[in-house]
Amino acid sequence: SKRCWTEINLSIIVRNYQIYKNNLPENKKIMAVVKADAYGHGDIEVAAALQKEGVTDFAVATIDEAVKLRQSGIKGQILILGYTPVDKAEKLTEYDITQAIPDQYYAEKLSQKHLPVKVHFALDTGMNRIGLDADNPDYCDKIIRKYKDELNITGLFTHLCVADSDDKESKRFTKNQIEKFESVINKTADLNLPYNHCLNSASGLWHDCKKSVFARLGIVLYGLKPDYKNSLPQGITPGLSWYSVVSMVKQVHAGETIGYGRTFTASKEMKIATVCAGYA
Which position among 28, 35, 68, 118 bears the catalytic label?
A: 35
Which residues does residue 240 pair with via DSSP β-bridges, in sequence order?
8
Closest CA to 214 of 27, 22, 14: 27
Taking a C-beta distance cutoff of 8 angstroms, is the pair 51, 75 a contact?
Answer: yes
Of the listed 2, 260, 271, 279, which one is catalytic?
260
Q: Which residues of 197-208 are buried (b: 16+ CB within 10 A; e: fewer)?
A: bbbbbbbbbbbe
Query: Can you tell me the distance from the alpha carbon of 82 to that of 151, in angstroms, rounded to the nearest whole number?
Result: 18
The yes-or-no answer on residue 260 being catalytic is yes
Which residues have a Cβ under 8 Å from the Cβ of 260 and sit 6 or more positions away?
A: none
Active site residue 171: no
By the 8 A CB rule, do 140 and 124 touch? no
Among all residues, which ones are annotated catalytic?
Answer: 35, 260
